[in-house]
Chains A and B, each alone.
Chain A
């Protein structure tokens, strides 16, 4: 993808994302009624759930890219995995923050050490470890190999996070979305979750494209440095 094509793609995605968010927020705040038991606070679900979907999609894409790096040893896959993981981590942070704020009202506490919350925290820490690991190792191939292993390890935890509310009795609400046979939300209330997910995916794609450009700039700097030293 050339630089100008990428810039055009970024601007197009930004317009789509802004339009989706404006439409969604209008629906969420102006059209949808308060939930019968929770009142207005339930609206946090429209940020919380799309953020975790976006984060987990990113971690899964990073897993595939990491696997491709281990298979091909092409550092472009490693750069892509690093960019996607970093962006997914930002969305995972939103999940923890919004979940805690919702929990303060719904449960009366900021945090509970139940299976869903604890596994999600472990997942978040694993991917922070991934970011820290990359900053700590200078040698590119060693950094890429170890990062790929951590990415695969972290993705195993995602399955545990996803299934935790089925495997254990947790304080976290049981599945409410129809895609998980929850059926706890009215269709009109559920749809904005998916539209917000789409908007967040657009935003995440923009961030990844910007991060990829930065990775390319870093590689250009490295090659210019080598050239300067070769004179």
Chain B
């Protein structure tokens, strides 16, 4: 009984670590996407301003 509980909590521990890292990776990916979109938008803005 105690051993099964130990195993369960060990699983929780490793899962928590994995989920925190996964959450951070997702936040990095979302920021990357947002920055790339913003960069494209600003580049177009500069090109348009240059043509005028």
Contact = CB atoms under 8 A, between A and B. Distances in A.
Contacts of B17: 47, 51, 94, 97-98
B13 A102 contact: yes
Contacts of A97: 13, 16-17, 20
Which secondary structure characterizes the binding site on chain A?
helix
A101 B46 contact: no
Interface in B12-52: 12-14, 16-17, 20-21, 24, 28, 31-32, 35-36, 38-39, 42-43, 45-46, 49-50, 52
Contact of A40 (B6, B31, B43): B6
B5 to A, nearest CB: 7
Nearest to B49: A231
Interface residues of B, number: 29
Given A39-B2, A105-B6, A94 B16 contact: yes
Contact of A44 (B5, B10, B31, B45): B10
Given A41-B9, A227-B46, 19 more contacts: A40-B10, A43-B10, A44-B13, A47-B13, A90-B21, A97-B17, A101-B13, A102-B9, A105-B6, A207-B24, A210-B28, A211-B28, A214-B32, A217-B39, A218-B35, A221-B42, A224-B46, A231-B49, A231-B50
Nearest to B29: A210
Contacts of B14: 44, 47
A7 interface: no
13 contacts: A39-B2, A39-B6, A41-B10, A90-B21, A93-B20, A94-B20, A98-B16, A101-B9, A214-B31, A217-B35, A221-B35, A221-B39, A224-B45
